[in-house]
Amino acid sequence: MNGNHKSLVVNPNTADIETLTRIPGIGGALAQRIVSARPFETIEDMQKVNGIGSAFLERIR
């Protein structure tokens, strides 16, 4: 990481689509699938969303 990296803390259960798309790797379609799949009890529950796997979750943690 460089000095310009900023962390973005996002609750996937409450974030709107615009906020979700600020996360690198999440576009509009994936953000919509995340919103539609709510609620998530754990971060691992997000793997039920098409396009999100364990490697993606590790990268965005």
pLDDT (0 to 100) of residue 4: 57
Which residue ranges make up each domain of the chain?
A: 17-60
Contact between 22 and 9 under an 8 Å Cβ cutoff? The reply is no
Task: Provide the b/e sequence for 11-46 (b: ≥16 CB within 10 Å).
Answer: ebeebeeeebbebeebeeebbebbeeeeebeeeeeb
pLDDT per residue as tens digits for the range 26-48? 999 999 999 999 999 999 999 99
The fold adopted by the segment(s) 17-60 is DNA polymerase; domain 1 (1.10.150)
Please give the Cα distance from 31 to 42 (Å, whole number).
17
pLDDT (0 to 100) of residue 29: 99
Q: What is the pTM of this model?
A: 0.85
Q: How confident is the model at residue 1 (pLDDT cuts 50, 70, 90)?
A: very low
